[in-house]
């Protein structure tokens, strides 16, 4: 068994790679490592709408109970809701069962500490070491030392919704919006938040059946949302992913506003309001050249991190940056929360649009985005870090870098959650960079797939 934790928890095909046995071990090891300061630690557990969520939730809970921890199951809620509620319930840790934007057959398990932050590498390594070395951490405790499942109150959704509503102070009554909930974890709370704020909403992707999460809906499939926004004459379309920690928006013309542009629009609002501390914005190596030019023109500096919202957060905590995120729509508003939150991000975007007095399309067009092509090379998990050892691959990469020198850039990185190596090319000639990206991705697949 290789490394368990990727950039966003443990993921795999449910009941094949991410088995109940592994979930049980993660529960035991996680409870052991995260609860050393508490004789009876409490773990808050949430999940998205995947069919496999029930199976993994029960196995994970059994592992926690077996080492004397208690669990509170709050059911289907967004990942960022658990990051918030773990503090509201004064739990020692939170756990989310979700594979985010991945297809329904995948699932994942990720932990939050008692302050609502994702675990750092050191703690993940400790949990992983216990599992890989098959260490028995509970010595088979018995009797009243075992944990129990506690009843969650009925206020989890309301508590989280009230928090979200508190993050804006702009009246959005009567604003026409379309929400796409990806048939995922946002399908109840997003409607509740926007309805209670008085917006006029149309909702799609809000009929989960256990197998349709992210299937043709949500932030990775915005086509239906684009059509619905134009049909309804809405101001904005707002698309979340399966666990609702991402946002992709659609302007009133039906055009995509990606994470880079969302950060630009919201950072501008924050700068004008005097809440962008030291004019620092945080982004990843995937952020577009146009993003950097916009920030420079706005008088802001950009801290660049590796891909993954955990690395964005680590940088923000060090620099004091109050907004940071990814092109994919993970955006962290550190003055409000500890992790990416799609619904919170959408509220900030709506607020930014209203405060600006402009149409979303006008705000979006202020940011010139350079053409960017992304191609995935399908490789075996064990080969994701080895491609630079191949002489032909190394030579091909050097050829591509020379071809785009001065007018673009090449970025190659292994996926943290899937058996893929991502090839990203940026440049002015779309046909040319597409050809280069496809050729390089095909070569990677041939050699390491």
Catalytic residue set: 100
Q: How far apart are CA 138 and CA 444, in angstroms?
A: 44
273 within 8 A of 263, measured Cβ to Cβ: no
3-state SS of 16-39 is: CCECHHHHHHHHHHHHHHHCCCCC
263 within 8 A of 235, measured Cβ to Cβ: no
154 assigned to a ligand binding site: no
258 assigned to a ligand binding site: no
Q: How far apart are CA 76 and CA 185, in angstroms?
A: 6
Strand (E) positions, 116-250?
149-150, 176-180, 200-204, 236-240, 247-250
Query: Reduced to 3 states, what is the DSSP secondary structure of residue 278?
Result: helix
91 within 8 A of 114, measured Cβ to Cβ: yes
Q: How far apart are CA 161 and CA 81, in angstroms?
A: 9
Q: How far apart are CA 311 and CA 334, in angstroms?
A: 14
241 assigned to a ligand binding site: yes
Q: How far is CA 240 from CA 25, 114, 200, 321, in A?
A: 31, 25, 18, 24
245 assigned to a ligand binding site: yes
Which residue ranges make up the annotated binding site for Mg(2+)?
A: 100, 241, 243, 245
């Amino acid at each position: 068994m290789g490394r368990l934790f990727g950039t966003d928890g443990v993921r795999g095909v449910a009941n094949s790679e991410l088995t109940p046995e592994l979930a049980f071990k993660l529960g035991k090891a996680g409870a052991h490592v995260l609860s050393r300061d508490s004789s009876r630690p409490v773990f808050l557990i949430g999940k998205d709408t995947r069919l496999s969520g029930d199976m993994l939730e029960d196995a994970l809970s059994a592992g926690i109970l077996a080492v004397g921890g208690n669990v509170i199951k709050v059911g289907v809620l967004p990942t960022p809701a658990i990051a918030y509620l773990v503090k509201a319930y004064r739990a020692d840790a939170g756990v989310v069962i979700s594979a985010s934007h991945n297809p329904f057959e995948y699932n994942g398990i990720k932990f939050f500490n008692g302050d609502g932050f994702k675990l750092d590498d050191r703690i993940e390594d400790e949990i992983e070491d216990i599992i890989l070395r098959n260490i028995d951490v509970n010595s088979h405790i018995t009797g009243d030392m075992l944990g129990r499942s506690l009843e969650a109150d009925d206020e989890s959704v309301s508590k989280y919704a009230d928090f979200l509503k508190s993050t804006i102070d702009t009246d959005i009554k009567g604003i026409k919006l379309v929400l796409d909930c990806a048939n995922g974890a946002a399908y109840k709370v997003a409607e509740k938040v926007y309805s209670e704020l008085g917006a006029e909403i149309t909702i799609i992707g809000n009929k989960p059946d256990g197998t349709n999460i992210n299937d043709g809906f949500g932030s990775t499939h915005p086509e239906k949302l684009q059509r619905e926004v134009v049909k309804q004459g809405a101001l904005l379309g707002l698309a979340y992913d399966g666990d609702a920690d991402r946002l992709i928006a659609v302007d009133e013309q039906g055009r995509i506003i990606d994470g880079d542009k969302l950060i630009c629009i919201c950072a501008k609002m924050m700068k004008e309001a005097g809440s962008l501390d030291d004019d620092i914005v945080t982004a990843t190596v995937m952020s577009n050249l146009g993003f950097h030019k916009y920030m420079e023109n706005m008088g802001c500096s950009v801290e660049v991190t590796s891909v993954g919202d955990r690395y964005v957060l680590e940088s923000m905590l060090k620099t004091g940056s109050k907004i940071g995120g990814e092109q994919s729509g993970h955006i962290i508003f550190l003055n409000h929360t500890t992790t990416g939150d799609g619904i919170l991000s959408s509220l900030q975007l709506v607020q930014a649009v209203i405060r600006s007095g402009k149409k979303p399309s006008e705000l979006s067009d202020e940011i010139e985005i350079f053409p960017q092509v992304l191609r995935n090379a399908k490789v075996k998990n064990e080969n994701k870090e080895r491609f630079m050892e191949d002489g032909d691959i190394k030579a091909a990469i050097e050829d591509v870098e020379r071809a785009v020198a001065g007018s673009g850039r090449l970025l190659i990185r292994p996926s943290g959650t899937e058996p893929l190596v991502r090839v990203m090319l940026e440049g002015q000639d779309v046909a040319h960079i597409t050809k280069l990206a496809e050729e390089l991705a095909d070569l990677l697949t041939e050699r390491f797939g």
